[in-house]
Amino acid sequence: MSAAEEIVEHDDTDIDDRQQYVTFKLGDELFAVEMNPVQEIIRVPEVVRVPLAPESLCGLANLRGKVLPILSLRHLFGIADAEDDESTRAVVIEVGQPLGFVVDKVASVIACDEAQLEDASSIRSTVDTTLLKGVIKNSSANQMIMVIDFQSLVEQEFAHLGLNSSEGGLLSDALIENLDQAELDDDDSEIQLVSFAVDEQEYAIYIDEVKEIVQMPEEVISVPKTSGHILGLMNLRDSLLPLIDLRTLFSLANKIPDDKSRIVVVSSNGYFIGIVVDNVSEVLRVNRDIVESLIPAMAREIELSDVTDICRLEGGKRLVSVLSTERLFDSENLQESLTELTEETMLEPEQSHNDGVNTEEDDNQVVVFRLDNEEFAVPITSVQEIVRIPEELIRVPKAPPFLEGVINLRGVVLPVVDLRLRLEIKSTQRSERQRIVVFLVHGVRTGFIVDQVTEVLRLPEGCIEPSPRVSKEHGNLFSGMANLRDSKRMIQLINPRSLIDEESANALAGAKV
């Protein structure tokens, strides 16, 4: 909706070259902005909260597929906050880039001569008069109207960034980048597994066989006359993905998928297939020495035919069965059902996702996790492993203030940082869903506590937008914003290299129990 459609009608007669203004209220004060930079006036949208941002930034909204920063004009002018109501609006103004400013109420459109705009320095007001272009007096509203200089307002609020309109306002040019391969631990003696639970038993698949991990959709399309192992079809980025129920495949008790259920996407015979599991537990990095191949006599047993290896963790107290995706789908009946399904529904083959010369930008895979109510992500190449939080973190005397504690990870001391604390998000109590995501930062393996790891996601082409530069620290830490228009999600992309500076990393490396 345009500004003219949202605001009160006015008399256009004899306007000539007079300047038009949109007027609005904040508390008891009446303000105005020139009509030209006003793009539209909208109801206040839902926003994604941004860590390490000024308090004036309410968050980021999705406006017809574009990221729109929303700012509180009350906060910018030092006026006490008020609850939004039916009259509250966001005025979208072009200030080097579109920004939405929340106002209490849009009043009208007025027109006045240049002579009616008087200097604001001579008036007394509750707001900083240096942020005003002037004051309109003798208006039809019979009230003094203060005209805001939004360009100066934004430049003052974000002065520490040295912004101006030619630099593109709040948006930086930095896009998501994969970590420097030199920083990654390329130890051939270790392997990575994605572990998950089915009927309280723990299984795993080698991470290079996992294409992504996604949440259960709200709707699964049932397909008649198919194998009982096939739960149905789901829509994944405009392609139909067949879902295999691992419980049925393993002849286990049925269970209705819930919010903990996940779909592990793998490939078979050139097509993507989703495996439905009860929940995804961890990304494990384990030494090859503790992974044992199943002896041939056991492997021939029907119930173990899908298991190739056994991973012995915690001194043998925790056994993880490693599944072969090839064996999972080698059943003649299942293969026949899948073939018929792919032919009937024209499912997109795996190679069609990689038919370009360079697919790095198209197929960015990220690990998505939650902090408070917001979604964040990191490149999957940067994640060393994901582990549960032990019952107790070991506190370290005279440790850096950002260090939550240390844990013993396979005989190695792993420093652990609370990512909520790092991003200045209010703390929360420990829960079963929390995990420690391990990165290699400046050569130091470091764990960061997150509220919940939700999925491994392949970002579609063109969804990554510049990250808003709301502070210098934020600009360094956040490398982009994944704007998933179809699902109406905005995921903030973190650059793990910037989570801790080199000096802090050295301090963590010296942390001793």
Stretch (H or E) spanning 338 = helix 332-345
Query: What does the alpha-carbon distance between residue 351 and residue 355 come to, in Å, rounded to a whole number?
Result: 6
Summarised one tens digit per residue, pLDDT across range 345-379 is: 544 555 544 444 344 443 578 999 999 989 999 99
192 Cα distance to chain centroid: 24
Query: What does the alpha-carbon distance between residue 383 and residue 187 come to, in Å, rounded to a whole number?
Result: 14
Q: What is the mean pLDDT of the chain?
A: 79
Query: What does the alpha-carbon distance between residue 421 and residue 310 come to, in Å, rounded to a whole number?
Result: 38
Query: What does the alpha-carbon distance between residue 450 and residue 104 come to, in Å, rounded to a whole number?
Result: 36
Query: What does the alpha-carbon distance between residue 433 and residue 449 come to, in Å, rounded to a whole number?
Result: 11
Summarised one tens digit per residue, pLDDT across range 230-276 is: 888 888 877 788 898 888 888 888 888 888 899 999 887 677 889 99
Question: What is the pLDDT, as a whole number, of residue 103?
Answer: 96
What is the rounded average pLDDT of the residues 325-339?
Answer: 67
Where are any strands of DSSP class E within 114-246?
A: 117-118, 132-136, 145-148, 190-198, 201-206, 212-215, 230-236, 239-245
Question: What is the pLDDT, as a whole number, of residue 192?
Answer: 87
Question: What is the pLDDT, as a whole number, of residue 236?
Answer: 83
- pLDDT band, very low/low/confident/very high, at 334 (cuts 50, 70, 90): low
Residue 415: C-alpha distances to residues 383, 400, 427, 513 (Å) = 15, 11, 19, 10
Summarised one tens digit per residue, pLDDT across range 116-161 is: 888 876 666 556 667 888 888 765 555 788 899 998 888 888 765 5
- Examine the pLDDT at 205 and tell me if it is beyond 50: yes
What is the rounded average pLDDT of the residues 336-353?
Answer: 53
Summarised one tens digit per residue, pLDDT across range 467-479 is: 777 777 887 889 8
Residue 369 tokens, joined: 């996790």
Report percent pLDDT > 90 for the chain. Answer: 26
Question: What is the pLDDT, as a whole number, of residue 417?
Answer: 93
Residue 212: C-alpha distances to residues 16, 29, 237, 400 (Å) = 61, 53, 13, 36
Summarised one tens digit per residue, pLDDT across range 19-56 is: 889 999 998 889 999 999 999 999 999 999 999 888 89
Task: Specify the amino acid at residue 99.
Answer: L
**Sign (positive/negative) of CA torsion 321, 327, 328, 331?**
negative
Summarised one tens digit per residue, pLDDT across range 410-463 is: 888 899 999 999 999 998 888 888 999 999 888 889 999 999 999 888 888 888
Identify the bridge partners of residue 310 per DSSP, sorted by sequence position: 292, 321
